[in-house]
Amino acid sequence: MQKPLYYLLKGTTKLLSALPLGFHRRCGEFLGIFALKVPGYRRSVVDINLARSFPDKKYGELKEIRKGFYKHFGRIIGEAVWFGGCNAERLEKARIIRMTNPEEINRLWEIAPSVVVMIGHCGNWELACGFAHYAPDAEILVPSKDVHMVYKQLSSPVWDAFIKDNRRAPMSESRDEVLIETSSVMRFIMTHKNEKKVYVFITDQYPYEGGSPVEIGEFMHQDTQTMVGAARLASRLGMAVAYLSFRDASGGGYEWTYRTISENASGEDPVQIMKKYYQMLQEDIEAQPCNYLWSHKRWK
């Protein structure tokens, strides 16, 4: 039954993706507000996260952030439908990303054996492994075949396959190795340790079940535990570490900025690397509060 469901989903998104991206974004925003008003999707989680993260804001301000978040969340869903039926050429033409400083990722690529790029759930994180294509005007030295995104496999095989297709949509080569499941990342990196790569980690989740939570102090005014796998790998193998700022751009699309955390993390304390990362992430969230995924339990 799973294959027919997958082909039905892909066929539907193929048809819908013929409509303009702006249409999908507007429909997504409507869907997000509907999710807030009718079923109240994870509203209690959102309200608790916002109240604790912005203790100085009044109720009216928090209410506006909540509304903006649900519109943002719905827009991501609308974009996912559009991506699901597009080919690489159309995705490049859309120019979804404006990269403010491609020279920084190019510099790290040239001086380091490999680069770890850490991102949070800001903007549309589903695009993170396609940066060589979504901003075609930027001169990127990193070959797309050498960019790999680490991901956690979804419990639904159908949705897992769909999301994987979306994340790999702009790639025309080495598609099978674009995404690396968390359980396989260490083996993959050690197998390719003599090859220059960029590894993209979504790094703001609460530690997975069975993981080893590490205290990093306060993040968004709350005591925070996190995973340090990406920082530990960079420290062990002497990789460069960068934070990818993923802000919502006016008029649609996103603005990317690379901020270097370490040019060579060899021997550095992984906890200190993570503290720098979370400080940068907090700056982005405070600048654009609606642009973060508030519907997940990041603090427990």
* Chain segment 24-42, per-residue pLDDT in tens: 999 999 999 999 999 999 9
Residue type, 288: Q
Q: What is the pLDDT of residue 300?
A: 77
Q: Is the pLDDT of residue 23 over 80?
A: yes
* Contact criterion met (CB below 8 Å) for 111 and 240: yes
Report, in angstroms and rounded to the nearest whole number, the Rg of the chain calculated over CA atoms. Answer: 19
pTM exceeds 0.85: yes
Distances (CA, A) of 229 to 53, 185, 234, 236: 25, 10, 9, 10
Residue type, 67: K
- Lowest pLDDT segment from 143-152, 167-176, 286-295: 167-176
Mean pLDDT of 243-257: 92
Q: What is the pLDDT of residue 172?
A: 61
Residue 41: CB atoms within 10 A of its CB come to 15
* Distance separating alpha carbons of residues 137 and 112, to the nearest angstrom: 24
Q: What is the pLDDT of residue 284?
A: 98
* Contact criterion met (CB below 8 Å) for 82 and 17: yes
**Residue 240, φ and ψ in degrees, nearest 5:** -80, 155
Tell how strand 198-202 and strand 147-151 pair up. parallel
Distances (CA, A) of 44 to 49, 55, 122, 288: 9, 16, 20, 21
**Residue 149, φ and ψ in degrees, nearest 5:** -110, 130
- Provide, rounded to the nearest whole percent, the portion of the chain with pLDDT above 90: 66
Task: Return the bridge partners of 226, or none.
Answer: 214
Confidence of residue 231 (pLDDT cuts 50, 70, 90): very high
* Distance separating alpha carbons of residues 49 and 161, to the nearest angstrom: 30
Confidence of residue 271 (pLDDT cuts 50, 70, 90): very high
Q: What is the pLDDT of residue 88?
A: 77
Q: What is the pLDDT of residue 126?
A: 86
* Distance separating alpha carbons of residues 247 and 127, to the nearest angstrom: 13
**How do the residues of the chain divide into helix, strand and coil, expressed in percent and rounded to 5?**
50, 15, 30
Mean pLDDT of 140-153: 89
* Distance separating alpha carbons of residues 291 and 204, to the nearest angstrom: 14
* Distance separating alpha carbons of residues 3 and 238, to the nearest angstrom: 42
Confidence of residue 221 (pLDDT cuts 50, 70, 90): very high
* Distance separating alpha carbons of residues 5 and 57, to the nearest angstrom: 45
Q: Is the pLDDT of residue 1 over 60?
A: no
CA angle 238, 194, 246 (to 5 degrees): 55
* Contact criterion met (CB below 8 Å) for 112 and 141: no
Residue 255 DSSP label: E
pLDDT, tens digit, for every residue of 74-126? 999 999 899 888 877 888 888 889 999 999 999 999 999 999 999 999 999 98
Residue 1 DSSP label: -
Tokens of 109: 């690529």
Confidence of residue 10 (pLDDT cuts 50, 70, 90): confident
Q: What is the pLDDT of residue 171?
A: 73
Mean pLDDT of 232-247: 96
Q: What is the pLDDT of residue 43?
A: 97
**Mean of the per-residue pLDDT values of the chain:** 91
More confidently predicted of 258 and 127: 258
Q: Which single residue is written with the structure tokens 């075609």?
A: 136
Sign, Cα dihedral of 272, 277, 280, 281: negative
Q: What is the pLDDT of residue 232?
A: 95
